Structure 1
Amino acid sequence: MVKVEIVEEKDQQDSRSPYASSSSSRTSSSVSLSSVGSEIDREESFYERLAALVDIVPPTTRHKISTRISNTAGFFKSTGKLVGNLVWIVTTSALLIGLPLALSLEDEAKIVAQEKEMLAQQQGQQMLAPSMYPPPNQPQQKGVVPPGF
């Protein structure tokens, strides 16, 4: 934990400090804070600045946050594993059971279509082929016989 102390300087040798003024009063400030070197240290990275903020958050709060993050990550990991296993089971079952079933149904449909086609061809040949016997519902024509026979 960080402990903050007020240190009073009796020597004012460092005249660059904006807080060192000729007046002894702490409430009056003649130097603005903008004159303080507010430039960002170019050598310090964003990660280093974030890591420095760890000391601001109390340890109990840090523990609660890390516990919640680890619990959430564990939940998503186990849920993802479960969903992956279910997808694996469904796709494997579909390949092992569904694909052969679909192929056999397709073969059966081809066989039925061929049988229908063969029946249609047989019926078409029967209608087109001249038969020796006339159809039963038409009267027979008597042939014209020339005289003298």
Structure 2
Amino acid sequence: MVTLTEVEDEHFQNTQAGPEVDDDDYSDTDSEISNESDYDPQDETLAERLYALRDIVPPTTRGWISSKINTVSNATWTALSFSGKATWVITTSALFFGVPFALSFAEDQQLTAMEQEYNMRQQGSELLTAGGDQTTADRIGAALGDEKDAKAAL
């Protein structure tokens, strides 16, 4: 019968020169799974999960994706900046030109209303002071009759 005897090499019996290494820090991950961890996958955010996947994507693809994201964000920033400036220009133009126009239009309307009121007062005073032999009712009827004749002529 054959018996096996382990013979250790002298090279493995001598320790290496260098710092003392504690072998307890190293463990074999295949031998057992530790259940003592406080890790809970439910506490992980979506951003943390996506950040953990960064090593799966090759660096060239990551660079391409990053450049596309930068291009889109720059275009969005430019569009928002331009629209904000355009809104500012339109608003200030409306204030500088629209408000004075609205005020002058309202003043013109007020002057027109005042002229109409003045003309109505003139007509009223003419009716009251015209001709001493007619009564006020006859004068109003005559004025209304003149209007009826004018409408019929049209």
If the length of structure 2 is used for normalisation, what is the TM-score?
A: 0.57
Unaligned runs of 5+ in 1: 1-10, 18-35, 139-149
Aligned positions, number: 105
Please report how far the alpha carbon of residue 105 of structure 1 lies from its aligned counterpart in structure 2 after TM superposition.
Answer: 1.1
Specify the alignment match of 1:66 in structure 2: 66
Alpha-carbon separation, structure 1, partners of 2:117 and 2:95 = 32
Aligned to 2:123: 123
1:133 Cα deviation after fit: 7.0
Q: Hey, what does 1:5 align to over in structure 2? A: none
The residue that corresponds to 1:108 in the other structure is 108
SS in 2 for 1:88: helix
Equivalent residues in 2 for 1:10-21 (5 A)?
Answer: 14=31, 16=32
The 3 A distance-change label for structure 1 pair 127 and 75 is same
Match of 1:143 in 2: none
Gapped runs of 5+ residues in structure 2?
1-27, 143-154
Runs of 4+ in 1 over 3 A off after TM superposition: 132-135
Give the structure 2 partner of residue 53 of structure 1: 53
Cα offset, 1:48, TM superposition:
3.5
CA, structure 1 residues 40+127, in 2 after alignment: closer, same or farther (shift >3 Å)?
A: farther
C-alpha RMSD of the superposition: 3.1
Per-residue deviation at 1:61?
1.0
Q: Structure 1-normalised TM-score?
A: 0.59
Q: Which has the higher helix share?
A: 2
| Sequence identity (%) | 34
